[in-house]
Amino acid sequence: MGLENIGGWELLLMILVGLFIFGPDKLPKAISDGVQMLRQLRQMARNATGDLSRELGTDIQLEDLHPKTFLRKHVLSEEDEAALRKPLQGIYDDLRGTADSVKSDLGATATALDVHAPDPPAAAEPKRAVARDYSYDDAT
């Protein structure tokens, strides 16, 4: 995990925001503290996953700690997962088929309406507003 997703403009914007918030004299110390905090958090996460791996007797990565991924990889077997998905998969397939047919029907209707639509009538000339000068005396 690094800075590969941050472009030049984003980095420049972060530096400017840091300058506004911390000021030029405290910004290097704030960056140093932030980097040190990230290193400590990563080390704590590595320690936690190592302890969890030892307790469960399996290799656990940091991504595996998401509850859905954890259950899928370490608690449920592939057969259990397939059994849980089977009832919902049929419903999903039926719903997908219905949505596709509605989409095609709407597309056909839109095409038919575009072909048979009459030309719009010429717009009538808009009514002109009567210009009237108002003064302070009119309001009082």
Calpha distance 131→134 (Å, rounded): 10
Using CA atoms, how far residue 49 sits from 38, 63, 134, in Å, is 16, 10, 78
Confidence of residue 119 (pLDDT cuts 50, 70, 90): low
Weakest-pLDDT range from 50-54, 56-60, 62-66, 99-103: 62-66
Least confident interval from 4-13, 28-37, 74-83, 117-126: 117-126
Please, what's the largest Cα pairwise distance for the chain? Answer: 91
**How would you write the chain as a 3-class SS string?**
CCCCCCCHHHHHHHHHHHHHHHCCCCHHHHHHHHHHHHHHHHHHHHHHHHHHHHHHCCCCCHHHHCHHHHHHHHHCCHHHHHHHHHHHHHHHHHHHHHHHHHHHHHHHHHHHHHHHCCCCCCCCCCCCCCCCCCCHHHHC
Q: What is the pLDDT of residue 99?
A: 92
Q: Do the beta carbons of residue 60 and residue 53 sit within 8 Å?
A: yes
- With a cut of 90, say whether residue 37 has pLDDT above it: yes
**Cβ-contact 49, 61 below 8 angstroms:** yes
Confidence of residue 139 (pLDDT cuts 50, 70, 90): low
